[in-house]
Structure 1
Amino acid sequence: MRTGAEPVPGEEATAAGDGPAPEKVRRPRAPRAAVAALVATVLLVVAGALLYDVVAVRAGYPTRRWRARIADELATRHLDDLGVLVGAGATVLLGGVLLWLALAPGLGRWLPLRPSGDTGAAIDRAGIGHLLADRAAGLPGIDHLRIRISRRRVRVTLTGTADPVSVQRQLRDELARLTLARPLRLDVRAARGAAPGAGAAG
């Protein structure tokens, strides 16, 4: 969502915390990722087999028995056949499950923390937004605050008399306390014409 904010002259996005280099930590993966990989693999195998048989037939070789059998079944079976109805029901059920998996929330909102020994943890991006909003709430001169957090960057838009450079310094210290496995880049901007009030969005 664009806020119409303009970058502060001479102020560039800087890495949050000049601590250790980012560690290679695997991002949390939702269970649907394994299901999606399995479905994609099955479809790839089936499509590859069909393509191979079509190319073989075009090259003069006889069609495979399994493809001829499938074509014959599709041409001769009626729509009220029990096998057709069962197959259609199973296909609809599978499609509904895949659709539910596609629309279900994943784990993209979670950002991994630096592991402590063999223990790994993650923090919600909305939680990071609340922490930054609480830190900014104690700073003078901020009338309105909007925070947007992606997987690699934090963008803060503020309205008020507060110095964006000072706010960025304070929020960078707060981000450094989170010990993220991949530190987020912080960009604090001064907005124009934002409505007064206070708010945060993660």
Structure 2
Amino acid sequence: MSFSEKIASLMQRPNEDLVPKDEVPWWMKYGGRGLGTVGGGLAIIFGLWNCSGILFINFGCAFAGLWQMVSGFIVIVIEAPCCCFFIDFVQTLSDFMEKRPYWNKAVLYMGFAIPPIVFCIGPTSFFGSALIFATGVIYGLMALGKKATPEEMRQNAVVNNLKPPLPFAGTRSSSNLVENAQPIAFTSTPIPPV
């Protein structure tokens, strides 16, 4: 058993299949999960710091702090349900989100990360939401899928170059937008009458 297989078996979820269903590399999958867990924890800490804005009558920062704490908790529940095993619905929510496509998580995490920065502009809002946003970016990259091999890309480039241009795309000289348009011709400067 290789080192990477040992790490993958340690990071495996309780009811996860041993055979991967997609072509996402294991390091990206577990990197996104780890970044989401750390980002969720930091979002809770920085959100608590933002909530202290209510002492200075800054309700925007207080709302941003509450938003960060809730979003950090939800990200931790989805990515690392073992951190919240004492709550009943955690495993159900985590399993539900695990069955969803990657782009759903990407949109959810990016949506969680933007409002605190809008309501309270500051370093705690930015750093608290940046890792959650980065987790969303990683899940977005995972949703794009595996890159094609160089041979497949060359073959697609050759096939696309052999296709004729689309009609009425303005690439041919005979295409006109108007039926009765006159062709463009060059005329010289008029000669003044003598």
Structure with the higher fraction of residues in helix conformation: 2
TM-score (norm 2): 0.24
Identify the structure with the greater strand proportion. Answer: 1
Taking CA–CA contacts closer than 8 Å with sequence separation of 6 or more, which of the two structures ends up with the larger relative contact order?
A: 1
- Normalising by the residue count of structure 1, what TM-score does the alignment of the two structures yield? 0.23
